[in-house]
Structure 1
Amino acid sequence: MTDADSAPGRPVFTSVSVYNDPGGLLSFWYAPEWQLTVAETALPAITLTPDLSDPATQIAITVRDLAAPLAVKERPAVLEGVAEGLQQLDGCVIEALTELREEGRWGVEWWCTFLAAGQRCRRRARLFFSDRYQYAVVLQGSNEERYAYWQGMFEWTMLTVGTAPFRLNPQSAC
């Protein structure tokens, strides 16, 4: 750990918890101090809020059943749809829009800023596809400073999102 890692005002993990979707579609690690809200829907829809006084600063994770895997020929339409959707955000500035390619799944990642409630918000998001499911992970700060403040913890949580349950004991699935 460096001095910068323990600087006052910078959030740090004191512990972590794992979320495993009861349906087996999703898992991720998060700070247990954060408010975890699970929507009562057929598929996972979770919001993590690190500061309840600032609900617009959050991580939103959702899963959608597409009924069939995304076809390779559909990928350009997804990219185009994301770009068009971002342009609908007030004052949107797209900083990056890239394809993610991993064996067994494909996705799109973007960084942008936009105006909401008189503030310039920052968002980083990943939309990825695995089997017949679409996963969305959205990191958002109510303004650019709030995003910067939580960025390290937000991005670590994003990187832990998996498309299957996490088990400490692999034999527990037997």
Structure 2
Amino acid sequence: MNQTQSRVGRPRFTGTTTYTDDQQRFEFRYPSDWIISTLEDDREGVIVQPEEDEPATYFAVWVNPLEIGVVADDLSDLRAGFDAGLDNLADLQVLESRDDTYNNIVKLERTYTFTEDGATRKRRLWAMYADQLQFVVVYQGSSVDEYAYWLPMGNYCFTAFQLPMSLWFATDPSIATRPGTEPAGPDAIDGSKAGD
């Protein structure tokens, strides 16, 4: 789309489709009229886009294998490395920042703007660490205005993103532990769950 033109109204849902990773590592729903394709650079994941002629607006998920399982205590180290990576983006402005743990799943979330190819992009990014996997979940607008226009659908994709129950069990400290550590005993379980 010509970025000098202004959008009128809001995008409309005409239906939704569920994407399930071929290794059953994640799934999410997205608008059924969006274009789906595989990611470049040998990344294990998928990208969906509302318009073929605007590749810089998209929702994408990919998975990176890790050499060692992550636990909640790794949050500070993961945060430092994650933010250092973001600092490499041109004209970075972090607008929102939040970090959470759910048992031993760690989620880092940032919303930010940056410059790419002479344009100001806006992006919401999750980096989720679960056992020996990192999930990168991204919604990006080719411009700040395009981000706002497609945001209801971007938010829908985020809300519909799910990890399999097997990963939730694998990251429950009462069931699974990092190699070389002792299993958590009954007194270590407080029965509470972290939430948004």
Q: TM-score, normalised by structure 2?
A: 0.74
Instruction: Sort the Cα spacing of 1:98 and 1:19 in 2 relative to 1 into closer, same or farther, 3 A.
Output: same
Partners of 1:125 and 1:139 within 8 A in 2? yes
Partners of 2:71 and 2:131 within 8 A in 1? no
1:35 CA drift (Å):
0.9
SS state at 1:111 partner? strand
Which structure is larger by alpha-carbon Rg, 1 or 2? 2
**Residue 23 of structure 1 corresponds to which residue in structure 2?**
23
Partners of 2:19 and 2:27 within 8 A in 1? yes
Distance 1:103 1:144 in 2: 35
Instruction: Sort the Cα spacing of 1:40 and 1:82 in 2 relative to 1 into closer, same or farther, 3 A.
Output: closer
Deviation by residue 1:16-68 (Cα, 9 ceiling, x = unmatched) = 11111121111110111111112489873111111111100111210112143
SS state at 2:69 partner? coil
More relative contact order, 1 or 2 (CA 8 Å, 6+ apart): 1
Amino acid at match of 2:75: R
Distance 1:127 1:95 in 2: 16
Q: How does 1:106-145 map to 2 (within 5 A)?
A: 106-145=106-145
1:87 aligns with 2:93: no
Structure 2, unmatched stretches of 5+, are 1-7, 166-196
Distance 1:39 1:95 in 2: 27
1:70 CA drift (Å):
0.7
**Residue 98 of structure 1 corresponds to which residue in structure 2?**
98
1:134 CA drift (Å):
0.9
Amino acid at match of 2:128: F
Displaced runs of 4 or more, over 6 A: 40-43
1:150 aligns with 2:150: yes
Distance 1:75 1:141 in 2: 28
Amino acid at match of 1:87: D
Distance 2:149 2:17 in 1: 21
RMSD: 2.2
**Residue 169 of structure 1 corresponds to which residue in structure 2?**
none
Structure 1, unmatched stretches of 5+, are 1-7, 166-174
Amino acid at match of 2:127: L
1:98 CA drift (Å):
1.3
SS state at 1:55 partner? coil
Deviation by residue 1:76-132 (Cα, 9 ceiling, x = unmatched) = 121111211222111110112210222352210001001112221101001112222
